[in-house]
Amino acid sequence: MTDDRSLPRPGCLTGSPAGRALAAELTARWAEPHRRYHTTAHLRAVLAAIEPLAAQARDADAVRLAAWFHDAVYEGRPGWDEERSAQLAQARLPACGLPAERVREVARLVRLTAGHAYEPGDMNAAVLCDADLAILAAPPGAYETYTRAVREEYRHVPDEAFRTGRAAVLRELLGKPRLFGTPVGRDLWELRARENVTAELTAL
């Protein structure tokens, strides 16, 4: 299995043989050859984006674990991927000694990344979703790399159908009163993200 030790790991993925085995499994999943955007680079970016927001989470360790699992199963099937990833967390984490309540929280957060929709005041979800969407505020060249990688992951979808679906996603994003749910996330990323998404939608 691929084992990228440069990825920061929550304690439960380092402190026991079961945890280390799970870290190796997850890292291998993120390195699957069919992935183009949802790769270890994306996982690393999400984990890094969590850190400036972590103090706003109720359980930052659960958020970090949810980041590790949020696209651990990835076949380009929105909703299905997140559900299977949540089920994987529920199946694997108990063996690492994680309390049942935290396992449930990790799985709940993973499921929320399917639509990035959550109740006001749900700060664990806000931190995870903000970190997952931080790519929207990338500098122009990096944003273009991101959009190309997303297109490659959906290479089985014809161009017109992809443009239609992607445009719908972008319009939904722009229709939100705010893209980021944490004050820090809004300060860091809101303006640039809206500029990038607007430019992509115009280009489509």
pTM, rounded to two decimals: 0.94
| All residues at 6 or more sequence positions from 27 whose CB lies less than 8 Å from its CB, including other chains | 1, 2, 3, 4, 7, 40
d(CA 102, CA 3): 25
| All residues at 6 or more sequence positions from 37 whose CB lies less than 8 Å from its CB, including other chains | 146, 149, 150, 152, 153
Task: Give the residue-averaged pLDDT of 36-54.
Answer: 97
Each domain of the chain, given as residue ranges in start order, spans 11-203
What kind of architecture, by CATH, is found in domain 11-203? Answer: Orthogonal Bundle (1.10)
**pLDDT tens-digit map of 116-142:** 999 999 999 999 999 999 999 999 899
Q: Is the pLDDT of residue 3 over 70?
A: no
**pLDDT tens-digit map of 76-108:** 898 999 999 999 999 999 999 999 999 999 999
